Amino acid sequence: MSGAARIQLLSPRLANQIAAGEVVERPASVIKELLENSLDSGARRIEVDVELGGSKLLRVRDDGSGIPPDDLPLALARHATSKIRELEDLEQVMSLGFRGEALASISSVARLTLTSRTAGAEQAWQVETEGRDMQPRVQPAAHPVGTSVEVRDLFFNTPARRKFLKAEKTEFDHLQEVIKRLALARFDVAFHLRHNGKSVLSLHEAADDVSRARRVAAVCGPAFLEQALPIEIERNGLHLWGWVGLPTFSRSQADLQYFYVNGRMVRDKLVAHAVRQAYRDVLFNGRHPTFVLFLEIDPSVVDVNVHPTKHEVRFRDGRMVHDFLYGTLHRALGEVRPEDQLAAPAAVSEMLRPTGQAAGEFGPQGEIGLAASVLERPQGESLWRSPGAGYQGARPGSALPAGEAQGAYREFFSPLTESAAPVALPAAQGDVPPLGYAIAQLKGVYVLAENVQGLVLVDMHAAHERITYERLKLAMASEGLRGQPLLVPESLAVSQREADCAEEHATWFQRLGFELQRLAPESLAIRQIPALLKQAEATQLVRDVLADLLEYGTSDRIQAHLNELLGTMACHGAVRANRRLTLPEMNALLRDMEHTERSGQCNHGRPTWTQLGMDDLDRLFLRGR
């Protein structure tokens, strides 16, 4: 060890700059820390001023409780916080920031001024540091009750970090996104953002449903709110509320996805998996769903201190949370009917609070259990209230009578039934079904119908494909899956954990047509597979399913394979393009669409129908100009 460097303590400045590498990546990360402190101080109004994308100036001013003058130097010290007192506090964190390093780290790479005044104090006090000796200077100042933090010349003393900053617009876009995330988390707080002296965001306090919806529209765009479903469900100590975008309002990237746990935005793979499952067969390939969702849960059963940025969380019962999210969203999307899409925007829609199976008690069996729950439901009973639908004709949920479902399973193409229906709209518009009545067929591909709003265009093959597909899924749920024994069982080498998992879920595997036998601590035998999946690679499928069960507590891989097969059957069974339909056949198709789950999209996620209102048609022909 001769010549080895001696161990020594780092200087406070260097220690803070190393910590800054974790906390301060760019202006946006500075704003995140400052805003979280403002929110934790009880602020109801926060003003943010930014210059040159944040690299020149970041100023956050709030009307929170303020900081006593004696605490000001401590605010800039490492490992100093007002939010944690003992280890137990970490187990149920409700504040946004608590590591006690943010201000110290920021002040080590910028010129920081903190001015604050508490209620009842005669004057405000100010503390300044400039990243050199880290010795703060405290002096009296003029300031109303609350706190202002001014950060100038970010990375002025660390040029290597400064050159990694992007263009002004890029940095400002990141910073604005941070403010939007927090604005969605805290409807009770007003946020105002100015960039280079120009007002960019002005979000007032939102105390009721309409003003909250207005804020969502301001942050996510009005188109999102017009194409979103409101959701609010409470069960087993889990409360989920917010808005989920219709499958037709999807994005090419995952940029309109906001998920909050107890007011803290997270990007969690368990949550992402549950949402992806719920949208599985209604999204076009490569598209991403949109949502603004809030999950409220007992803080003691969720660990938010898993990651330095606190973007990831760990749930004590991850499987229950996953099943709750998946079941709730899957059911909400499945219950969307044409009249819901034609109704008023989600802002003023009425929300129901289902319980039991409607609220997501599904377990890893996923869709089969969901479909079975639909079959068990009485005719006409819907879990989700239609927001303002005028048509109150026969609406049998999405269920087929058990006998009819079994028939559909055996003979997966059921011809369109002829039913007499008027061609012209009746005088009383309240009696008109949502998709109206057929008036013509175009090129053997599209059905044209007239409804209260105007003209409806339907892709008849895509619509009938979805109807047939849903009937097949329901039939499969009612009859279960027949298994096919293997002449020679396939052996499978697995870990002990995977073998234990296979034994734990043996009943579930049997219900899906699999029979697994444990031969040794780390060996399984596949004795039976679902008859429908006899062409599948059974060993790889079982491995993938076990991996999912261990990671998420649930798996949809078997169901995904089955759905793919049923989708192919439905595609072959659906009415083909260029087939001429009679008006009664077209009307039968429209009525089936109104009563079928997910009928707004075909099995591949493409839209099955679209509405052209009178306003749209008038614009096309420049009427009224």
Q: Is the pLDDT at 144 greater than 90, yes or no?
A: yes
Q: What value, to the nearest 5°, has the Cα angle with vertex 123 and ends 117 and 124?
A: 40
The pLDDT tens digits for 301-317 are 887 765 555 567 788 88
Q: Is the pLDDT at 168 greater than 90, yes or no?
A: yes
86 — pLDDT class (breaks 50, 70, 90): low
Closest CA to 175 of 196, 158, 161, 159: 196
> By mean pLDDT, which of 108-112, 141-145, 221-225 is the weakest?
108-112
Q: Is the pLDDT at 295 greater than 90, yes or no?
A: yes
> By mean pLDDT, which of 74-88, 317-331, 509-523, 565-579 is the weakest?
74-88
24 — pLDDT class (breaks 50, 70, 90): confident
The three-class DSSP label of residue 205 is coil
Break the chain into its structural domains and give their ranges: 12-205, 210-376, 414-625
347 — pLDDT class (breaks 50, 70, 90): very low
Q: State the Cα–Cα distance between residues 446 and 108, nearest whole angstrom.
A: 66
What stretch of H or E contains 180?
A: helix 168-185
Joined tokens for residue 107: 């002040």
Q: Is 210-376 in CATH node 3.30.230.10?
A: yes
Joined tokens for residue 492: 């499978």
The pLDDT tens digits for 184-230 are 999 999 999 999 999 999 999 999 989 999 999 999 999 999 889 89
The pLDDT tens digits for 530-565 are 877 776 778 888 888 888 888 877 777 777 777 777
Buried b (16+ CB within 10 A) or exposed e, 345-361: bbbebeeeebeebbbbb
Average pLDDT value over all residues in the chain: 79
The three-class DSSP label of residue 151 is strand
The three-class DSSP label of residue 118 is coil
Buried b (16+ CB within 10 A) or exposed e, 213-239: bbbbbbbbeeebbbbbbbbebebeebe
The three-class DSSP label of residue 193 is strand
Fold of the domain built from segment(s) 12-205: Heat Shock Protein 90 (3.30.565)
Q: State the Cα–Cα distance between residues 434 and 425, nearest whole angstrom.
A: 12
- Length of the chain equals 625
Q: What is the DSSP string of 295-359?
A: EE--GGGEE-TTSTT----EETTHHHHHHHHHHHHHHHHHT--HHHHHSS-GGG-------GGGG
Strand partners, 296: 239
What stretch of H or E contains 469?
A: helix 460-479
User: HEC string of 386-443?
Assistant: CCCCCCCCCCCCCCCCHHHHHHHHHCCCCCCCCCCCCCCCCCCHHHCCCCCEEEEEEC
Pairing of strands 57-62, 137-141: unpaired
**Burial grade of 606 (CB within 10 A; 0-12, 13-18, 19 or more):** middle
Do residues 595 and 397 lie in contact, with contact meaning Cβ atoms separated by under 8 Å? yes
Buried b (16+ CB within 10 A) or exposed e, 445-466: ebbbbbbbbebbebbbbbbbbb
Q: Note the CATH number of domain 414-625.
A: 3.30.1370.100
Q: Is the pLDDT at 350 greater than 90, yes or no?
A: no
